[in-house]
Amino acid sequence: MITLDNRVGSKELLRLFPPGNAQLGHLEYGDASFIGNGDGVPYTVGVERKKIPDLLNCITSGRLSGHQLIGMLNTYNVSYLVVEGVHRPNPDTGLLEVWKRGRWNPVDLGSRRFMARDMWAFLQTMEIVTGIHTWHTCTERETAQWIGALHYWWTNKEYGDHRGHLQAHTMNQVELSKHSTVRRVSATLKGVGWERAKEIDTVFGSVEQMVGATVEEWKAIDGIGDKLSRSIWSELRGV
């Protein structure tokens, strides 16, 4: 069940969800939240929704990064910031414009106007530096649908059962997630690949330790038999 904050700015989304999928409640931080299947434990997931003028106002005042997002990070295991509104950079000036009353209009906060790159740079900082995931939607209906899809992703499978990041590519398998140097190096060895490399990563703490391992130590790893262990040992030593 998705919980929407019962204040203005959140509660109006309730009518856009299928009956029984969302409810109103009080959230200290964020506009929506739910419990998802985390990595072995339940994860709390929070979503902060900002329309573009509100986002720019919060950036200017410091309220978003100085208060709201800090609260999100301290409250939820995973946090999202969704920016709502149709926008573009002006083709000539690069000023941030929003679609309003059938035309493109610059976003004004008093006498201040913003470059589109300033908003994009802020969102990039939030994602890369703080780890808050950012997303963009055009309308409140799309926002509700996106939150519903987010809830579906987090609840319809166990965390480890998501396999969309594993895809075949030029005879190898690439994984679109962070992994250690041990796993990256071991995955390139003949007969290993990403799945066995994951097990190897749990055994060796460094590449140096992996290279110095004996054939017997390799054989002790789940999924690696006598023939493969000897092949790995020889390949690492260039013999």
Give me the residue label for tokens 């006498």.
Answer: 111
- What's the rounded mean pLDDT across residues 125-142? 91
Is the pTM higher than 0.75? The answer reads: no
CATH of domain 166-237: 1.10.150.20
Is 166-237 the same fold as 2-161? no
Looking at residue 186, what is its pLDDT?
85
All residues at 6 or more sequence positions from 42 whose CB lies less than 8 Å from its CB, including other chains? 35, 36
Neighbours of 114 (CB within 10 A): 22
CATH of 2-161 among 3.40.50.300, 3.30.420.10, 3.40.50.10130, 2.140.10.10: 3.40.50.10130
pLDDT band at 177; cut points 50, 70, 90: low
- What's the rounded mean pLDDT across residues 230-239? 86
pLDDT over 50 (residue 104): yes
62-67 long-range Cβ contacts below 8 angstroms, 24+ apart: 65/126, 65/130
Looking at residue 112, what is its pLDDT?
85
Domain definitions of the chain by residue range: 2-161, 166-237
Looking at residue 21, what is its pLDDT?
92
